[in-house]
Amino acid sequence: LLAQALNTLDDAVAGPLRAQGSDSARGPGGSGDASAEACDEPPTPLMWRDAAAAGGPHRLWIEIGQPDARRLAGAVAGSERVAVYAYAASAPLWWKRVRTELQALPQALARIEVWQFDANAIESWARAARAPADWQFFKFDALVQVSDAECSFEVGLTRLA
């Protein structure tokens, strides 16, 4: 939800985000099915912004969590830009390992942005979140404020790459 909110500001200029599970959600693997990776088909993004031209690479590929180097290499091959949003406290160690594995692809590293949400703040928000809620998101430099009519949270955001 936070990753989507942080990337919807570009909707008017770059087009809307698409997500797995939506009616039009078909990533480069075609089906939006995570099992496609087990069959050596191209990975499918969790969220993406469509290509500028039909058949071209996605403008934006969004990953959540800590994807492996193989998945990120596939994401770079299928998009102009990749944004990863990690939420675990171990994200800096994960990124150090994956970055080392991607060193052979310097053009890939130049197109990947890696962000880490503050793990404690995400846990607090998850415990208090109710669905459905009318969440509002405001980004101030390295801080995202998430609020609804009853509660408000501040989630730190650190750029790792």
Q: How far apart are CA 108 and CA 126, in angstroms?
A: 32
| 66/143: higher pLDDT | 66
71-83 residue pLDDT tens: 999 999 988 999 9
Query: Model-level pTM?
Result: 0.77
14-64 residue pLDDT tens: 566 677 765 444 333 333 334 344 445 667 888 888 776 667 788 889 999
Identify the bridge partners of residue 139 per DSSP, sorted by sequence position. Answer: 144
| 124/29: higher pLDDT | 124
Burial code (b: 16+ CB inside 10 Å, e: under 16) for 74-96 equals bbbebbebbbbbbbeeebeebbe
